[in-house]
Amino acid sequence: MNHKTLPCGYRFAQSIDFMRNKSQIKAMLILSVALIVAPVVIGLIAVPIGPSWQLMASRWWAWPALGAALIAYIPLHELTHGAVMLALSGVMPSFGLKLPYAYAGSTVWFDKKSHILTALAPVAVWGALLQIMIARLPAAWFWPLWIVQISNLSGSAGDIYTAWYLARMKGDLLIQDTGVRMSIAKRIRTEEESL
């Protein structure tokens, strides 16, 4: 269940902070690089780059279109987070930019499942849409679309890290994600519940 304010019986446990926590920043950056390198290697093994290069070279508009897709993906990613936050809480999220991150945030305290769903929604939704486009368009469009897919994956490194981090935590948790910092509160068992 999601709450507009932190309910009684919960206490701050820890945070995920991609602006200040050096070990979390490092883990997220390593994951981001892995989510670039692995798909590039898979793509090079699976599909030759030549036809895509010829397509891009023969159409003047292809390069600006690729650049526009990479730029447009950023607000679409955050709007997807925001739409899920709004659907799960009824509270309008906030959007912003704290370099190097764009973000959607909320003052709502989300339960663990809701927060994981919110975190993974953009990579799942846009990943599926891009894969459908890759499967349906001619093979020459593979690399331009694959580059956007790689951006989708690597741009979701913080979301994937957060989902993994929370999935490993035990207990009844509530998470408030105000943008680039997540506060995690844990339910405290009373003496009566312990008996």
Residues 162-187: pLDDT tens digits? 999 999 999 999 999 998 899 999 99
How many angstroms separate the Cα of 129 from the Cα of each of 20, 133, 136, 142? 34, 6, 11, 13
Query: Does residue 2 lie in a domain region?
Result: no
Q: Is residue 90 part of a domain?
A: yes
C-beta of residue 166 within 8 angstroms of C-beta of residue 173: yes
Position 164 in a domain: yes
Q: Please indicate, yes or no, if residue 193 is contained in any of the structural domains.
A: no
pLDDT by residue (tens digit) across 106-146? 999 999 999 999 999 999 999 999 999 999 999 999 999 99
Is 60 inside a domain boundary?
yes
Core vs surface per residue 88-111: b (16+ CB within 10 A) or e: bbeeebeeeeeeeebbbbbebbbb
pLDDT of residue 180: 80
Question: Mind listing the pLDDT tens digit for each residue in 48-93?
Answer: 999 999 999 999 899 999 999 999 999 999 999 999 999 999 999 9
pTM for the predicted model, two decimal places: 0.90
What does the pLDDT look like over 25-40, one tens digit per residue? Answer: 999 999 999 999 999 9
> From edge to edge, which strands make up the β-sheet containing 181-187?
10-17, 181-187, 173-177, 109-111
The count of structural domains within the chain is 1
Q: Is residue 44 part of a domain?
A: yes
| Domain carrying residue 95 | 10-188
Alpha helices in the chain (DSSP H): 22-46, 50-58, 62-89, 112-136, 142-155, 157-168, 191-194
Residue 195 lies in a domain: no
Give a yes or no: residue 194 inside a domain: no
pLDDT for the residue numbered 54: 93
Distance CA 38, CA 103 (A): 25
